[in-house]
Structure 1
């Protein structure tokens, strides 16, 4: 029986199949596969999404931590570019699944962990996203609070002024996130050009007023040997990869709306690494110029903005708010809200998931994570990269090596279906995750194996790929030869547009 239709590489359920599983406890309007009409995101939508998310304060200041650790400007920028090119690979590999089958991340995870086991990778991703939500809310709070104090001298004397700003900014983020991915698409379309043009204006101002780029771009590396450089390079590279390792997992949440594989792949390949690299360079160049202009290096764009006239401060505050909200709702709310929703699809909505995400973010104390660059790069980014690398590896291995891009879409929504495994848990996914995490962690306790921890995301990813692929040999959940063709109606000139659109 045909239960799914493939048209130009995109698979949707037939109307009969959708009706059959719509009453399942694993189905709701947010988690169901997208229809043909919902595949409406063009390449420009993915480009503006990434540009809007990349143009944020953490991206601006990322290189500053590396320079503080001894790198020169081009070593820092090169590390950032390489890290983003590396993480782009799993992003594109997982994007394919979301685009082809129109499924969000929690449903994608049912393939490799089972319908109950899927809570393991989705809640792990949710934990990281909630942490990032808190970080960006805190960054935005500090920015607004600082700029208010620069504009109104009495604001700093108001008891609890920072807490007031945090609460209001938190509410703003949750309110925008409540609208879901379509609201995020519209916000990104505004944020990308506004923040991008503002960054270029800031760069021109710095170069003009400093009479050049300043001393940071002339300062040599502090490392005398290659070995000394590599000790900082590898954990820094892992930190850069970890910056977007989160989106590498739940990118199907967005790519499920893509019009085609080509459009999303080209747009993401160009926008992510280029935007991150250029914006990091702008951060370095502007900071270098501040040494000449103000006599000190000002890495924080908020502190820099506070030195301008009130009208410029107002405009800058609006831009920083737009930037912070864009990355927060795009990168840090969708995944955890979907994961929480997946716990009880028939009762928990995306909006409720977004609110719970915001509350949990407060409990993670983002002010501590951002208290110094050591906590940020080595503690926060490095630690969760060690957790997400193996999950990325399992997702890639399952879709590309084990199933070879073929699956029974309807069965993902059946509690006792093909992807239920043993009582809802795929033990092979659990084993691969444990091995992929434990081996890199050994580097924390065994000095000669320190390189494993310094490259935790990379080692975890490849170890999990190997273990999972081996364990899943001849698994009963994998479609047999010819089975995909039996359940799939391939679009041809004989299919009516109405039928294909369903």
Structure 2
């Protein structure tokens, strides 16, 4: 709010607290079951998820096998996201503050920056992918723009720069209005996405004469089939390794636990099966028509013969990609930077810095570099499992949901989360041990058969390591944050 001065509540530290990091008050929470459902309605139907699922079909999983893999993954995700979501609903704090419980008031920067680092790179990549769709639509409407798409400036054409920057600006404007605007955008985008993909599936089904191929010529059978079903389910869960970690960024605004359960149920198991049915229809119909396996729904959109319909479908995909980017790749680094410099950065300023970083890293070059994607982003991603295991065990098993919320904002040597100079060495060591093991599973050639399950191994290693190392001698206090007032002076 322009022109206001925010007063820091008594006893809280300006190095740990500002309005955006403060615990949300129950009276002001607005994330209903529908809000959470639309969150998943957008994210599940992302172009990246379609490319992944269609890739399983191309690999050799038939229609029912693909649905089975998604269903198994969905059940696990529903449970994991519900447990993670309940933490945000109880405490009202974002992920970087939640991490202070396990890692200490300063040590929390470690998980926050790992999560934010993964997200900020993917923010740029997803914006680039959306710009590709926009370029197709613009050239379809204005063929004279084609020459602008044939040069190269720092790896991107002139038209590419125009579309990328345009979408970049749109996202910056949306996120500058805070989490409430993000909630409204997700609620707006959700129905558009569902209708668009259902329409694409019906259109492709009609093109194929209302029959589809349920499998490719290289379909798996027997034990190999089941290994790929469970491997696909594990990879599906790993894709959401980011969200199961920082889902509290959203559920801190949830109206109730019941809203989280309902939103997750319709958004995860139910919506993921619908997603799977659309994948099988799109991929199976195209394979039936000409024996070709598409890489993404964008391929189908680009082939639509009617220019008006092509533009509408392209716009819907752009709306989708922006929705996914905001929730999956913009919120986490914004909170991470706010947590790093709470005296100087609020949500809006941190969002702008995140966006600028996502631009200057030239994400199209990252996307086109397998080494960067696999080893840098993949390596950071492999650490998300251990972080999840450590935080979940600490909150649910060690502390039994007892959290002293006011102490999360205090630089007090006797505080519950000060540990040793603000760091919990036991959590750090648990992360080092489990993270190292997770990276071995993910990248060691001798363990390549286990690589699909790297997130599970990492989460398990982290949970066990922290359970064995954690200090149980400390009494745990349960105190909510309602006494941390949010005061403004006009």
Normalised TM-score (structure 1): 0.85
Q: Confirm whether residue 156 of structure 1 aligns to residue 146 of structure 2.
A: yes
Shift of 1:54: 1.9
CA–CA separation in structure 2 for the residues paired with 1:365 and 1:451? 33
Shift of 1:373: 9.5
CA contact (8 A) 2:235 2:453 kept: no
Match for 2:421 among 423, 427, 438?
423
Secondary structure in 2 matching 1:332: helix
Per-residue CA distance 1:441-470 (angstroms, 9 max, x = gap): 333676554455331111111111111122
Relative to structure 1, is the Cα distance of residues 213 and 125 closer, same or farther in structure 2, using a 3 angstrom cutoff? farther
Q: Confirm whether residue 355 of structure 1 aligns to residue 352 of structure 2.
A: yes
In structure 2, the residue matched to 1:112 is 102
Relative to structure 1, is the Cα distance of residues 391 and 172 closer, same or farther in structure 2, using a 3 angstrom cutoff? same
CA contact (8 A) 2:86 2:257 kept: yes
Match for 2:27 among 20, 33, 37?
37
Per-residue CA distance 1:367-402 (angstroms, 9 max, x = gap): 3565599997x7688544421000001110111011
Match for 1:323 among 312, 320, 331?
320
CA–CA separation in structure 1 for the residues paired with 2:124 and 2:161? 13
Shift of 1:172: 1.3
CA–CA separation in structure 1 for the residues paired with 2:27 and 2:8? 15
In structure 2, the residue matched to 1:241 is 237
CA contact (8 A) 1:337 1:350 kept: yes
Q: Confirm whether residue 84 of structure 1 aligns to residue 74 of structure 2.
A: yes
In structure 2, the residue matched to 1:456 is 454
Relative to structure 1, is the Cα distance of residues 207 and 68 closer, same or farther in structure 2, using a 3 angstrom cutoff? closer
Per-residue CA distance 1:292-348 (angstroms, 9 max, x = gap): 556744333223223331211221122112111111111111111000110110111
Q: Confirm whether residue 208 of structure 1 aligns to residue 198 of structure 2.
A: no
CA contact (8 A) 1:393 1:462 kept: yes
Match for 2:332 among 321, 331, 335?
335
- How many equivalent residue pairs? 466
Match for 1:346 among 343, 348, 358?
343
Superposed, which structure 2 residues align to 1:383-462 within 5 Å? 383-416=379-412, 417-443=415-441, 449-462=447-460
RMSD of aligned alpha carbons: 2.8
Match for 1:305 among 288, 301, 306?
301
Superposed, which structure 2 residues align to 1:467-486 within 5 Å? 467-476=465-474, 478-479=475-476, 484=478
Q: Confirm whether residue 288 of structure 1 aligns to residue 284 of structure 2.
A: yes
Secondary structure in 2 matching 1:20: coil
CA–CA separation in structure 2 for the residues paired with 1:489 and 1:71? 49
In structure 2, the residue matched to 1:198 is 196
CA–CA separation in structure 2 for the residues paired with 1:373 and 1:81? 29
Relative to structure 1, is the Cα distance of residues 452 and 105 closer, same or farther in structure 2, using a 3 angstrom cutoff? same
CA contact (8 A) 2:286 2:293 kept: yes
Relative to structure 1, is the Cα distance of residues 366 and 70 closer, same or farther in structure 2, using a 3 angstrom cutoff? farther
In structure 1, the residue matched to 2:164 is 166
Shift of 1:40: 2.6
CA–CA separation in structure 1 for the residues paired with 2:427 and 2:23? 23
Secondary structure in 1 matching 2:421: coil
In structure 1, the residue matched to 2:364 is 367
Shift of 1:78: 2.3
- 317-326 or 219-228: which moved more? 219-228
Shift of 1:102: 0.7
CA–CA separation in structure 2 for the residues paired with 1:475 and 1:451? 40
Secondary structure in 1 matching 2:18: coil
CA contact (8 A) 1:88 1:248 kept: no
Q: Confirm whether residue 270 of structure 1 aligns to residue 260 of structure 2.
A: no
In structure 2, the residue matched to 1:25 is 15
In structure 2, the residue matched to 1:12 is none
Shift of 1:176: 1.2
In structure 2, the residue matched to 1:11 is none
